Amino acid sequence: MSIESAKTLVEQADSFIKQFEKRLAEKASVNGKLSVEKMDEEQEACYDVAWGAALIFAAKEMFDYPARVKADSESIETKLAIFFIADALNDIYSRFRVHALRSGMKLSEYESTLGGDQLHDFIAKNSGEAKAGEITSFIADGKYGIYGLNDDQGMMLDAFRNFAEDKVKPLAEKVHREDLTIPEEIISGLAEMGCFGLSIPDTYGGFQSEENPDNTSMAVVTEELSRASVGAAGSLITRPEIVAKAILAGGTDEQKNKWLPAFANGEKLCAVAVTEPDFGSDVAGIKVGAKKTEGGWLINGTKTWCTFAGRADVLLVLCRTNPDMSLKHKGLSILLAEKPTTRDHEFSVTQPNGGKMSGKAISTIGYRGMHSYEVSFEDYFVPDDNLVGGEKGLGQGFYLQMAGFAGGRLQTAARAAGVMQSALEKATRYALDRKIFGKPVIEYGLTKVKIAKMAAITQAVRQMTYKSAQLMDKHEGSMEASLVKFYSCRISEWVTREAMQIHGGMGYAEEYEVSRLFVDARVFSIFEGAEEVLALRVIARSLLAETLH
């Protein structure tokens, strides 16, 4: 069955979800305006709206994928696309059937709206062991599908894949098992390659062209480093992106000229201190405060989950510069708190004025190498020059911080793609080598279905990420970045879980790297916007609000 036959079905599913969004928005509105309180009475439906939107985004990108890479009907690219779309449509059909019935829609009407027999026929003919076997035969030969990059991006992929294979991969397991800080040879090597300047404009010493931005290259690099280790390399450029974009969005000229070149060449490494013990995604409730003093500010309070805070030279601290809590996020500003770098799991810094910053790494099941710290401030002095935006930056911290988070979400999707690609490769290799009941594991039907689905999902996430990056080049794509972050992070747990399962008992042993991939993938749905908050407060809220206008 040709991929063209999927187009109408995807459009029908998209239309149904949009109609469902409209009904849900009307139910969750008061006097024509969306009510968060009303939305919270329908959280399950709102979550599924977000998931459905992500699946539609993925299906549309996979529909375009074969033509984009000039693939014929018998290629792995076309087979991956059709297999993925069939699975996505099946997910949408199953997920929204109950919602439709609850809304009073008859089952026959629901079936007809989504395509009826045509839908079921498409799903039946393009899923299952036979179709999975066609895909798995390609993958067994090391063919995972063309990525669809231009020549420059392809060269970037090759360069960073080689670095990851030669420098990161040999150290990845040691860093994970011994809970080490990222080795300096990885940091210095990536600095020499310009890795830290990928999101910084060339006018400030980075590699991002202001005239022709290329966020896809950044995603490519992130994926390739994460394919070797998300904790020992893949996450290194996320923090410079978040901090740099905050400074670009609202920093003074002096701040841009001072900090951006230092970040771009790796001279200064940075971390982000936003989350607090009682306030994670609820940024408006942040309590860490900064009180004005002569020549600067004194920070007091505790931040948590400050990834890379020990090794970093400077922390972006989102804090309350106006003590009036009724201002919520409008009372927040960004201060750049400088500190000595350390590779230790604990640190303490005392300033000449008596101010103190102390931190302790939080023990985690995965994502080791970066280390996430709880950091406490006691009258820690930050000069006026380090208030991002100066006087104009007061009260703008939330907005400046969010300027970098879209890029952070995009990078997280690329990190998930790298981990999934690694899991797919390891699972395939093991399934080829391991024999059960007299034949290789890969020859069993269920294994073929697992591997084909893993490959289709990984390619879908990759193509969604590239599309989001291209939109970001045009200063668009905030919603798409949220959708791909939401989908990729949740689904990466399934992909890495299945990779472990294919390994059987050895998947549970640290002897095999696949166990690291599983625990690393678990963090994706938590950081850069927790899954539930991203689904309910960002994606669903935006989609429902849009239907009311």
Which H or E run includes 85? helix 76-102
Query: In the chain, how many H helices and how many E strands?
Result: 19, 12
Are 49 and 544 spatial neighbours (Cβ–Cβ below 8 Å)? Answer: yes
Residues contacting residue 143 through CB under 8 Å, at least 6 positions apart? 76
What is the rounded CA–CA span in Å between residue 400 and residue 256?
A: 14
The owner of tokens 């995965």 is 366
Tell me the angle at which helices 445-473 and 478-502 cross, rounded to the nearest 10 degrees: 160
* 431: Cβ contacts below 8 Å, ≥ 6 apart: 440, 441, 442, 447, 451, 502
Long-range contacts made by residues 474-481, C-beta under 8 angstroms, separation at least 24?
477/406, 477/410, 478/406, 479/539, 479/542, 480/57, 481/406, 481/407, 481/409, 481/410, 481/413
Element (H, E) at 209: none
- Tell me the C-alpha distance between 304 and 359, whole Å: 9
In eight-state DSSP terms, residue 363 is P
Q: Give the phi and the psi of residue 270 in degrees, each rounded to 5.
A: -130, 165
Q: By C-alpha distance, which of 197, 181, 223, 240 is closest to 408?
A: 240
Which runs of consecutive H residues, i.e. helices, occur in 434-527?
445-473, 478-502, 514-521
CA distance 433 to 311: 41
Q: Does the active-site annotation cover 528? A: yes
- Identified catalytic residue from 425, 528, 531, 546: 528
Greatest Cα pair distance, the chain, in angstroms, is 78
CB 79 within 8 A of CB 131: yes
CB 123 within 8 A of CB 496: no
Positions marked active-site? 528
